[in-house]
């Protein structure tokens, strides 16, 4: 009589659990930090003159967020669609002056003025884009520059006293909600700037992750192939041009609130060149690069002015004091070094430093 040994039944292996990358929570963590900054009384010597939650620091941070959003909207046109526009400052200025004039001259409420200014700016971008996009390459860049120059000249001539000319147009705060007026309410303006940034990020990423965003990337890489597939590159480019202009108008409305009015320098052609530098510094066509580039460039632009007047620079020898007292010289040097050593912008640092991070533990 034979005995049989019981064989254990093979159990099905449990499927491996999917690990959620921590990087997915990075933007949410950053957002929480940005919202909580007004409650932080930390002092960071050399970075900010005062504590983080003081009005001056919060206004600087709000300006950095606004220009970060502006650069991100411009990258929808430049980095993701491949359109080099030299006139994007026109739509930023339209948002600034549109909001200011609707509040100060027309007597509308703030929120109505912002809505009308953004819609009007997007409509203006659609109309001018319909003309400019009939050309391509350097001709397109020149046409957009011409439109921006016409706008800058018109603002400077102050037609009918609407723009204030060279002196600018202060905003009438009587129609602005009380919680957004005064130095003590800078924190509310800061939170509003965070909201503008969130809206811009959501819009740009929603487009980039959609089928339309993939078509825009295809138009950037090979326009002829898109045409062969039966799609019209002109319509997709006009869509990107319109949305980018509308986002610039939204950033302009927030800028008008932060500085309390409108100034003619925002319509100058070098403002678009500044936007281009922000995007290239951060990394064109990347998910967060333009935002980082706009934030960092704006911060350096304002902080280097304070450095120019500091005792540390005034006590240096003449051959050093001269260049260091010119913020544009320092910004240009930083930009050249960044482009030379990190051609992919700030967004490419992770890729370039990744092998170094893996090499260090091995050496230990």
C-beta separation of 284 from 79 below 8 A = yes
Looking at residues 351-358, what average pLDDT do you find?
Answer: 54
Instruction: Work out the pLDDT band at 349, boundaries 50, 70, 90.
Output: confident
**What is each CA distance from 356 to 21, 64, 205, 339, 359, in whole angstroms?**
21, 30, 30, 20, 5
Which domains does the chain show, CATH number per domain? Answer: 59-307+324-346 (1.10.3470)
Looking at residues 307-316, what average pLDDT do you find?
Answer: 65
Average pLDDT, the chain: 85
Looking at residues 85-113, what average pLDDT do you find?
Answer: 94
pLDDT tens-digit series, residues 159-200: 988 999 888 999 998 889 999 998 989 999 999 999 999 999
Terminal C-alpha separation, the chain? 64
What six digits make up the tokens of 287? 């998910």
What six digits make up the tokens of 190? 């800061």
At residue 54, the pLDDT reads: 92
Those residues with Cβ within 8 angstroms of residue 250's Cβ, 6 or more apart along the chain or in another chain: 69, 73, 95, 114, 118, 196, 199, 200
Alpha carbon 212 to its chain centroid, in Å, reads 21
Would the pTM count as exceeding 0.75? yes
At residue 13, the pLDDT reads: 53
DSSP string, 260-291: TEE-GGGGSHHHHHHHHHHHHHH-TTSSSHHH
């Amino acid at each position: 009589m034979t005995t049989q040994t019981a064989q254990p039944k093979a159990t099905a292996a449990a499927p491996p659990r999917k690990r959620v990358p921590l990087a997915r929570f990075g933007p949410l963590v950053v957002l929480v930090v940005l919202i909580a900054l007004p409650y932080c009384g930390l002092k960071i010597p050399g970075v900010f003159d005062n504590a983080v939650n003081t009005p001056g620091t919060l206004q600087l941070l709000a300006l950095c967020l606004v220009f970060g959003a502006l650069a991100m909207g411009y990258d929808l046109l430049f980095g993701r669609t491949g359109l080099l526009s030299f006139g994007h400052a026109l739509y930023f200025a339209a948002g600034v002056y549109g909001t200011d004039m609707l509040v100060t001259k027309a007597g509308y409420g703030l929120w109505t003025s912002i809505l009308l200014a953004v819609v009007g700016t997007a409509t203006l971008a659609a109309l001018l884009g319909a003309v400019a996009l009939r050309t391509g390459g350097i001709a397109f860049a020149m046409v957009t520059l011409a439109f921006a120059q016409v706008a800058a000249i018109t603002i400077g001539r102050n037609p009918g006293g609407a723009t204030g000319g060279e002196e600018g147009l202060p905003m009438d705060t009587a129609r602005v909600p009380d919680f957004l007026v005064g130095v003590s309410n800078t924190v509310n303006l800061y939170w509003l700037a965070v909201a503008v940034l969130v809206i811009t990020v959501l819009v740009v990423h929603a487009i980039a992750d959609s089928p339309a965003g993939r078509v825009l990337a295809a138009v950037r890489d090979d326009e002829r192939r898109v045409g062969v597939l039966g799609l019209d590159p002109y319509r997709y480019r006009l869509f990107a041009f319109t949305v980018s202009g509308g986002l610039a108008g939204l950033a302009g409305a927030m800028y008008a609130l932060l500085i309390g009015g409108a100034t003619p320098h925002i319509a100058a052609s070098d403002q678009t060149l500044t936007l281009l530098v922000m995007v290239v510094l951060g990394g064109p066509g990347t998910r967060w690069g333009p935002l980082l580039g706009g934030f960092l460039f704006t911060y350096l632009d304002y902080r280097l002015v304070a450095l120019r007047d500091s005792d540390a620079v005034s006590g240096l020898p003449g051959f050093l004091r001269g260049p260091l007292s010119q913020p544009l010289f320092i910004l240009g040097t930083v930009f050249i070094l960044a482009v030379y050593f990190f051609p992919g912008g700030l967004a490419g640092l992770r890729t370039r430093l990744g092998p170094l991070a893996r090499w260090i533990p091995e050496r230990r």
